[in-house]
Structure formats: structure tokens, C-alpha cells
Chains A and B, each alone.
Chain A
Amino acid sequence: MSPSSHNRGPDLTLIAGAAPSSASDSRPGPEGPAARELDWSIYMARAQGGDREAYRRLLEEITPYLRSLAARRVPNRSDVEDAVQDALLTIHAVRHTYDPSRPFGPWLVAIANRRIVDGLRRRGRTGARETPLDAEHETFAAPEANYHEAASEARALREAVESLPPGQRDAIRMLKLREMSLKEAAAVSGMTVAALKVATHRAVKSLRKVLGRQDRRT
């Protein structure tokens, strides 16, 4: 392929007097795109008659060309391949509309452009109803990624502790949140160790009820 020689698709005409190069020579010779297009025209004429080998060669040769056409209009790489396949399927479906007495290029480009534009419209339509998955929608296994949830749980816990009776609340704060020992807590609050134990036990029980937690940790 010589991609340098075409920018706007093969708006070429058959060169007068150009001998139809034999179809056995599949290489697009140094004559350039005009000769290649003539080859394609011959392949298609044969394919219409049921020549599978010519058809395979034609499809294989036009595929990179279709890809370059699509890549110019379609931004997304996988969508480019979709457009190429769509164009190939359409060419297959309407191959009887090609008239071998006319140049092949305009026929090919018209079909390809049609399918590319249709595909862009279709993707535009579905794209309008979709939301892309951005980085901020992603979540990770690492605990730091889920601070949000943890924060809301902490608030729920704080509110639950707040709603306890004063004796139980102080016991929980001192023993569980500030992690004081029973002796220290007894000294600070003036409650007995036994009373602190009972208050903590009751507080944990009612917290469990409030938070609806089933876990056995205390």
C-alpha cells in the first residue's frame, strides 16, 4: 500500500489506455492508486461472478484502505474496527450494485462514508444516554479508598453513643474510646469497677441493638 499518495480517497478515474494488469499480480505496483483501483474493479467484477479468490484478495486489499478512511473520522480505535467491519458487510450486501464499467473508488468510498457517518450517528445517540466511568467512580480494595463509608459509619456510632444513658455513655467513652483501664476509669469517675463493668456491658448491648449489628466483638 502507498498511503502517501491519497488523502481524500481515490477520486480517480481509469487511465485511458492502461492495460488491465493481470489479476494474478495482486501487488499494487509502482503505477500508483489508479492501477490498484483498476485491479479492485477487476476483482469485484470477478467476485460478482462467484470467484472467491478474487473476492478474498479484494476484501483483504481494501481493508487497510477502509481503516484509514474510518480512522480519519472516528476517534475511538475499537470503533474504527467496527466501522471497517460494517463497511465490509455492506459492500458484501450490495456488491451487485457495482457496475464494472465505472470506477471502483467512488463506489467504495461512497459506501464506506455512508457507514462511517451512520456509525457515528448511532454512537452519538447511545453515547448521549451513557455516562463514562471516570476515575472518581472507581473504588479500590485499599481501606483509604473507602474513607467515605467509614466516616458515615463513625458518625452513626457517635450518634448511637450519644443516645445512651449518661452512666453507660461515660463508661463506654472511657473504657472503649479512650482505652482507659478499669482502675483508671474508676478513679476518674468515682464508680466502682463492678459498676463500670455492668455499665459497659449494658452500653454495648444497647449499642448493638441500636446499630443492628450481629457481630460478637465487644
Chain B
Amino acid sequence: MITTPDLIESLVANAAPVRRLRPPVARAVGWLLFAALMLALLAISHEVRPDLALRLRQPEFAIGIAASLATGVLAAIASFTASIPDRSRRWLLLPLPALVLWVSTIGYGCLVNWISLSPSLPLGDEAGCFALLVLTGVPLSLAMLIMLRHAALLAPTRVAISGGLAVAAVTATALSIFHEHDASAIILIWNFGTAVLLVALGGAFGRRMFSWVAYAGK
């Protein structure tokens, strides 16, 4: 085993200048701008659902989309802040109110549309849905992973769960903008299922993914 003074010597020898991280909120804004860019590109390639203006006038849809967007923004800020060692982990609770609102609109949607729940979606529709999720979710997750790689040695699981929530919420927002809600309950369940899946993946593999990115970067 290397002795501690030797370790200090070798660390000093490797003390190249480093660039300080920008304030967490600024970094969160950076990530959100990237997310906005992704959504804009999707809006150009896909088309925004034709009935968007109409649906936005419906309060439960507007509240749902606003809640999911707010969850994404707050969860991103929470992840970037909580990844700094000396910040309180209570920051991770920041997206909670928006999350509760979002989940309750999903629940409400399910309740209202329970009767109109059609047994199954056409297969192509579900595939398109899934493609959209992957198209937004993967780049956003990767960007978040790389931007938060310093959390690998600190609090990977907590930060990964929060980051997963941010990605899920933004992805769900994209889904509501681009995908027609003909079988709205199913889409809502899809939304929520994806969110749970992403958060669970973040919790299960976040530690491993973070350490992978952290070591690959050296």
C-alpha cells in the first residue's frame, strides 16, 4: 500500500489547473436549453400534434403539461445542486410539489377516461410512441450523465434518481406535445410508466453508469 505522504506527492504532481464548475442553476439551465433544442428539432422533424392548440385550452391537459415541465425543470436544478458535495440533500425534494401535481393529473386523467379506455392502440402508434421516448430520453440522459459525472464518487444513486426524474418529465412533456391523445389513458399510463422506469433505471444503474463515465473521462 502506498503511504499517505507518497500519495499526496503524486496528487500534487498531477495537480493540473481545473476549471471550476459554474453555479448549479446555470448548469441546469444549460441542460434545459439542450432539452429545449432537442424538442425544437423534434418539432421540425416530427410534426406537433394537430390538436395541440385546442388541447392546451383544456385545463387538465394544460395543467398536466405544465406540471410535467415544471417537474423536469425543478428536478434538473435539484440534480445539479445536490451533486455538489456541500449542498444539502434536501434539494432533491425540490421537484416534489410539481411531481405530486403531475401524478395527480395523470390519476385524474385515468379516472375520467377510464370508461373510454380503448383496449389497445394500433401497433404502429405504440412503436412511434416508443421511438419518440428513446429519441428524447437517450440524448438527455447521456448529457445529464456526463455533466454530473463528478457525482460518481459522492452520491451517485440519489443524484441518478433525481436526474432520471428530470429526463422522464421532459420526455413526458415531449410526448404530450407530439403525440395525439386518442387513447389518453393509455398514453398517460405510458408517460407514468416511462417516468417510473427511468427513475428506477437511474436508481439501479446510476452508480455503475456514473463510475463508467467518470473513469472513461480520465
Contact = CB atoms under 8 A, between A and B. Distances in A.
A103 B85 CA distance: 12
Contact of A47 (B15, B19, B23, B83): B15
A97 B8 contact: no
A63 B4 contact: yes
Given A97-B84, A110-B85, 16 more contacts: A48-B17, A50-B16, A52-B13, A59-B8, A63-B8, A81-B1, A82-B1, A84-B4, A88-B7, A92-B11, A96-B19, A97-B21, A97-B85, A99-B20, A110-B154, A114-B85
A114 B17 CA distance: 25
B183 interface: no
Nearest to A99: B20
Contacts of B4: 63, 81, 84-85, 88
Given A88-B7, A97-B85, A99-B21, A114 B15 contact: no
A63 B12 CA distance: 14
A96 B19 CA distance: 6
Give the top 4 A-B pairs by smallest Cβ distance, nearest first. Answer: A50-B17, A107-B86, A96-B18, A106-B86
Contacts of B214: 93
Contacts of A47: 15
Contacts, number: 81
Contacts of B153: 90, 93-94, 111, 114-115
Given A52-B15, A93-B153, A107 B85 contact: yes
26 contacts: A48-B17, A48-B20, A50-B15, A50-B17, A52-B13, A59-B12, A60-B8, A89-B7, A90-B154, A92-B11, A92-B14, A93-B153, A93-B214, A94-B85, A96-B20, A96-B150, A97-B84, A97-B85, A98-B20, A99-B20, A103-B86, A106-B86, A107-B86, A110-B154, A111-B153, A114-B155
B53 interface: no
Contacts of B84: 97, 99
Interface in A102-119: 102-103, 106-107, 110-111, 114-115
Contacts of A82: 1
Contacts of B16: 50
Interface string B84-96: 1110000000000
A60 B12 CA distance: 10
A68 B150 CA distance: 25
B41 interface: no
Contacts of A59: 8, 11-12
